[in-house]
A and B are shown apart, each in its own frame.
Chain A
Amino acid sequence: MGANGNPALLWRIALLATVVVFFQIGVVSEVPVFGVSADLSPLLVAFVGLLCGSTVGAVTGFGVGLLVDLALVQTLGVTSLTLTIVGYCAGRLREARDPQAALTPLLVGAAGSAAAMVLYSLVQFLLGVDAPVSWELLRQIVLGIVVNSIIALPVWAIVRRCLIGGLPEDPRRRRRRAYTTGGLSPLSRS
């Protein structure tokens, strides 16, 4: 939550989001894996939410979604809506549970991707886009989630590395570091 007012972090996120969106459009979307392309946008938004909290996650989701919709000449607002929800939920997970397991990014990435794809499809159906609900569509969604899950950990590492310098000190992280370096060790105090 403390990240909300950190301009350096917001700039980092904006730059990262722009690079990721263009990389997604220019490279990733043209490299099919198992017949589908990976989608970095929900992974980026979910990981920003997981690192920076719900508000930053939601804003990032809205911004990334708007950028994607503008760049791909899609219906404005659809991707923004879905990614806003994804970013917010990922941020809420951090705020409420603060999971520390090594596989958390993998699960968050998979869940974020699934939520984004399902929500996107739902909104498209609600808008009346003429696409039959078929096994092919389900297959595409499932394969998309699988592919995104595969790349979730590397993307998490990159996002974390890009943002870690701008993140406020995590009390728990600070406590761990102080303990291991002897700063707050009971032994050093005694």
Chain B
Amino acid sequence: MYDKTVRRRRAVLALLVVLSLILLTAYFGEASSGGLHSVQRGFLTVVSPIQNGANKALKPVRDLIGWFGDTLHAKGQRDELRKQVDKLRREVIANNAEKASYRELLSLYKLDNQLSVNDYHPVTATVVAKSPNVWYSTVTIDKGESSGVHVNDPVINAEGLVGKVAQAASDGAQVTLITDSSVGVSARIGTSGATGIVQPKVGDPNDLLLQYLPANTQANKGEYVVTSGTVSSPDDSLYPPGIPIGQVTSTNEESAYRSVNVHPLANLHNLDVVQVLTAASGSLPSNLSRLAANLPAGQHSSASGEALASTGGG
């Protein structure tokens, strides 16, 4: 009895395996128009409506199960996307900062070409600290004496004149902005050529005043005020001529002289990249600066408070 059972069991297994192999071989070997394929297609034709019906009937079940899966998946995706958003946000911020720096550097480059600032050995520096008070009269840059930066070197950016170096350390320097009361810059009005001294306006640190202009000076609103290339005192730095300082906003009538209000072109509240015109020793600007500084007081200070220490071609 036992042997018969075992034999039958094995026979069934062998039969099913052989049947499977025959099916497999026949199906695999025949063309798509063969008999087994036709049977399969026929089965599919019969079963398709049932499958469709079952599919529709079971859709709520599928949706329910899928809802749990989707929820878990969505949570994972949400966390992943949050990370991506954070990463992309950081990248955007970094890109924007780089873009701004690039624009500033590009503008500086253009300014260099226009004004021949390269003669003054510009050193590009980054503002690393700003005066915390509302006046923003000083900033700290990351270049110092080791880069050739010295006291009184002019500092510019892409928009125009920024200020001058007040103190220089080995790897950093403090820059006094043109809105600081200690700064006076010899300047001229672009079209008329009338020269005067630009100083901060008392009571309004964001505005400048071009003073000591001849009484007959014509200054229209919107005209550019640029550096004249002269010094007003031995302590002054020699600003290269033609660097934009600001635009005329209004004119003031005074007794002997005329003054105009000037709005600075450089956004002094948002400085990032600047250039220090180091005028290396032995260069023409350096020599002129030294010459002007050594002149007796009467020779470099005229009635308008300005010595005509012209830079010549510079």
A binds B: yes
- Decide if A150 is an interface residue (CB 8 Å cutoff): no
- Name A80's contact: one of B20, B26, B43, B62 (CB within 8 Å): B20
Is the pair B58, A58 in contact by a Cβ cutoff of 8 Å?
no
Which interface class (under 10, 10 to 19, 20 to 34, 35 or more) fits B? 20 to 34
Question: Could you say which residues of chain B place their CB within 8 Å of the CB of A33?
Answer: 69
Interface of B is mostly: helix
Stretch at the interface among B9-17, B113-121, B134-142, B172-180: B9-17
Is the pair B5, A1 in contact by a Cβ cutoff of 8 Å?
yes
Contacting residues of chain B (209-253) with chain A, CB-CB under 8 angstroms: none
- Decide if A11 is an interface residue (CB 8 Å cutoff): no
Contacting residues of chain B (72-129) with chain A, CB-CB under 8 angstroms: none
- Decide if B202 is an interface residue (CB 8 Å cutoff): no
Contacting residues of chain B (125-181) with chain A, CB-CB under 8 angstroms: none
Is the pair B8, A55 in contact by a Cβ cutoff of 8 Å?
yes
- Decide if A88 is an interface residue (CB 8 Å cutoff): yes
Q: Who on chain A is nearest to B5 by CB?
A: A1
Given contacts A71-B43, A71-B47, contact A76 B61 (CB under 8 A): no
Q: Who on chain B is nearest to A128 by CB?
A: B28
Given contacts A54-B9, A84-B17, contact A76 B23 (CB under 8 A): yes
Rounded to whole Å, the gap between the CB of A166 and the closest CB of chain B is 19
- Decide if A187 is an interface residue (CB 8 Å cutoff): no
A76 and B44 alpha carbons, distance in the complex (Å): 13
A30 and B5 alpha carbons, distance in the complex (Å): 42
A33 and B65 alpha carbons, distance in the complex (Å): 10
Question: Could you say which residues of chain A place their CB within 8 Å of the CB of B20?
Answer: 62, 65, 77-78, 80-81, 84
Enumerate chain B interface residues (CB-CB to A < 8 A).
5, 8-9, 12-13, 16-17, 19-28, 36, 39-40, 43-44, 47, 50-51, 54-55, 58, 61-62, 65-66, 69
Sampled A-B contacts (17; CB under 8 Å): A26-B51, A26-B62, A30-B62, A33-B69, A55-B12, A70-B40, A70-B43, A73-B40, A75-B28, A76-B23, A77-B20, A77-B21, A77-B22, A80-B16, A84-B17, A88-B13, A127-B28
Enumerate chain A interface residues (CB-CB to B < 8 A).
1, 22-23, 25-27, 30-33, 54-55, 58-59, 61-62, 65-66, 69-71, 73, 75-78, 80-81, 84-85, 88, 123, 127
Q: A26-B58, A62-B20, A77-B24 are in contact. List 10 more A-B contacts (CB 8 A).
A: A26-B51, A33-B69, A54-B13, A55-B12, A70-B43, A71-B47, A76-B27, A80-B19, A84-B16, A88-B13
